[in-house]
């Protein structure tokens, strides 16, 4: 049985931690948390009570966990949590559509300061999964 997945990933120059775990058949939930500096930025909980009697449940739960974990990474990389992760961030008016209001302006993307040669294989794979992997 897989207890969970934990990954550190760098986004916009900051380190984030994604944790996914299974509560087990007595409380059939998969929980994924996204942290920045010890603060929970986002969470997702999925019940699998409706499939608890399926044959091969362990394998199915592991796949559900992987999918939910990857989805949280994709959402982070797509900027979905930028407002919570970077409160008060400077918005880039040059990149904005002139029809947008100030609240709708996109956040300025900060390049990852870590060159590929010094990044861990986990970071490289997670970047790939979050941007290029199956959707």
Could you report the per-residue pLDDT of 89-102, keeping only the tens digit for each?
765 544 434 443 33
- CA-based angle 114:119:123, to the nearest 5? 110
Mean predicted confidence (pLDDT) in 33-58: 95
Q: Is the pLDDT of residue 104 over 60?
A: no
Q: Residue 25: is its pLDDT beyond 90?
A: yes
Total-model pTM? 0.65
Query: What average pLDDT does the structure give for the chain?
Result: 79
In the block, which residue shows the tokens 């609240």?
103
Q: Residue 120: which of 35, 48, 30, 15 has the closest Cα?
A: 15
């Amino acid at each position: 049985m897989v207890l969970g997945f934990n990954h550190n990933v760098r986004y916009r120059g900051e380190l984030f931690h994604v944790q996914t775990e299974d509560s087990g058949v007595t409380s059939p939930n998969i929980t994924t948390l996204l942290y920045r500096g010890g603060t929970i930025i986002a969470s997702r909980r999925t019940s699998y009570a409706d499939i608890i009697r399926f044959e091969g449940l362990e394998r199915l739960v592991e796949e559900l966990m992987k999918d939910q974990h990857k989805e949280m990474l994709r959402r982070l990389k797509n900027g979905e949590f930028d407002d919570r992760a970077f409160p008060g961030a400077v918005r880039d008016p040059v990149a904005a559509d002139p029809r947008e209001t100030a609240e709708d302006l996109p956040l300025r993307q900060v390049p990852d300061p870590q060159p590929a040669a010094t990044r861990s294989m986990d970071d490289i794979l997670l970047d790939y999964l979050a941007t290029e992997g199956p959707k």
